[in-house]
């Protein structure tokens, strides 16, 4: 048993500051933060986040992830090299692997969601017109500064594990983001680093048999920055889930409703916060396990 009595027999690291947040609160409170305070994050906190994230599932327990953690002058040197490449036209024409569709390859409904995201971030939140390339670039380049966060992480996975490694990396990434949130910290996952992957490979000595997955900014959110108010919507469960039930009345979506979850807390947005300040450190906790008693006649597998 860990000396800190966290209950995890595999845990050897120190605990994070006790924020006492449920998984539900961490999920509802997590979002991509793009403006950070300079307030430092201790190395022990980063180690604890990584230790907890390493408890993620992976295919046959392969644990194919590696992380490169940058702070201080090391982070600044990487940022300088990335910005030099960015300004000198060093953006790669083709990523190392097919990470995402080219702009002309996006299809519906993803195309509309992407465009809504871009308009929300650049247009509504930052007031930058779509045609204002200089304005757009002034925000985009902040990616390479890890949005001012004191900790920058580059996540890589073994190439030998094929696409299964990318699934494992996604689980690890999510665990990093949720654990950070539960500790009162915030994150932004960033694929933008892939546009300059040769710079990363050179600076961090990333071997050829590892694929670069993304960067992660980690730190304390700057809650006074306009970007802190930017939130993204989600599809309803009935729009992406199909339930196969024994009894017709158990089915979700027949009348468009999701039985039982109407009263649960939603992700805080400007709309549902009635225009008041959003504070993701204070997401209410429904204690949903108690709200879902076993239904008579329902089968759990």
Ligand X SMILES: Cc1cc2nc3c(=O)[nH]c(=O)nc-3n(C[C@H](O)[C@H](O)[C@H](O)COP(=O)(O)O)c2cc1C
- Chain positions contacting ligand X, by CB under 6 A: 31-32, 34, 117, 143, 188-192, 214, 232
> What's the closest the beta carbon of residue 7 comes to ligand X, in angstroms?
29
> What's the closest the beta carbon of residue 193 comes to ligand X, in angstroms?
7
**27: buried, middle or exposed (CB in 10 Å: 19+, 13-18, 0-12)?**
middle
> What's the closest the beta carbon of residue 297 comes to ligand X, in angstroms?
36
Q: Are 212 and 206 in contact (CB under 8 A)?
A: yes
> What's the closest the beta carbon of residue 142 comes to ligand X, in angstroms?
8
Nearer CB in complex with ligand X: 31/86: 31
Tell me the three state secondary structure of residue 153.
Answer: strand
**Is the C-alpha dihedral spanning 72, 74, 76, 82 positive or negative?**
negative
Nearer CB in complex with ligand X: 219/252: 219
> What's the closest the beta carbon of residue 192 comes to ligand X, in angstroms?
3
> What's the closest the beta carbon of residue 294 comes to ligand X, in angstroms?
32
Supply 271's token pair: 């709309």
Nearer CB in complex with ligand X: 110/117: 117
Nearer CB in complex with ligand X: 58/143: 143
Q: Which of 68, 100, 117 is nearest to 166 (CA)?
A: 100
Tell me the three state secondary structure of residue 199.
Answer: helix
> What's the closest the beta carbon of residue 31 comes to ligand X, in angstroms?
3
Q: How many other C-beta atoms lie within 10 A of the C-beta of residue 57? A: 11
Q: Are 187 and 69 in contact (CB under 8 A)?
A: no
Residue ranges of E strands in the chain: 65-70, 151-158, 186-190, 210-219
Q: Are 173 and 189 in contact (CB under 8 A)?
A: yes
Nearer CB in complex with ligand X: 6/27: 27
Nearer CB in complex with ligand X: 277/291: 277
With a CB cutoff of 8 Å and minimum separation 6, the contacts of 27 are 178
Nearer CB in complex with ligand X: 41/221: 221
Q: Which of 98, 100, 106 is nearest to 211 (CA)?
A: 98
């Amino acid at each position: 048993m860990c000396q800190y009595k966290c209950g995890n027999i595999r845990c050897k690291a120190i605990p994070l500051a006790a924020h006492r947040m449920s998984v539900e609160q961490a999920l509802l409170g997590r979002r991509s933060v793009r403006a950070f305070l300079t307030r430092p994050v201790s190395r022990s906190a980063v180690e604890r986040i990584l230790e907890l994230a390493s408890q993620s599932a992976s295919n046959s327990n392969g644990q194919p992830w590696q992380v490169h953690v940058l702070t201080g002058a090391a982070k600044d040197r990487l940022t300088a090299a990335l910005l030099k490449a960015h300004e000198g036209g060093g953006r790669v024409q083709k990523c190392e692997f097919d990470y995402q569709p080219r702009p002309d390859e996006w299809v519906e409904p993803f195309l509309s969601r992407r465009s809504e995201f871009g308009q929300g971030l650049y247009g509504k939140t930052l007031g930058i017109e779509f045609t204002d390339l200089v304005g757009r670039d002034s925000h985009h380049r902040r990616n390479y500064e890890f949005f001012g966060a004191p900790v920058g992480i580059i996540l890589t996975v073994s190439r030998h594990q094929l696409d299964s490694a990318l699934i494992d990396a996604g689980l690890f990434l999510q665990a990093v983001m949720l654990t950070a949130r539960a500790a009162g910290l915030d994150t932004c996952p960033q694929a933008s680093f892939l546009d300059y992957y040769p710079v990363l490979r050179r600076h961090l000595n990333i071997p050829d048999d590892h694929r670069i997955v993304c960067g992660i900014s980690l730190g304390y959110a700057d809650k006074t920055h306009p970007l802190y108010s930017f939130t993204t919507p989600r599809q309803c469960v009935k729009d992406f889930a199909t339930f196969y039930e024994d009894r017709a009345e158990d089915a979700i979506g027949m009348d468009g409703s999701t039985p039982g979850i109407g009263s649960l807390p939603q992700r805080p947005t400007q709309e549902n916060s009635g225009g008041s300040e959003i504070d993701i450190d204070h997401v209410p906790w429904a204690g949903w396990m108690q709200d879902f008693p076993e239904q008579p006649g329902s089968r759990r597998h």
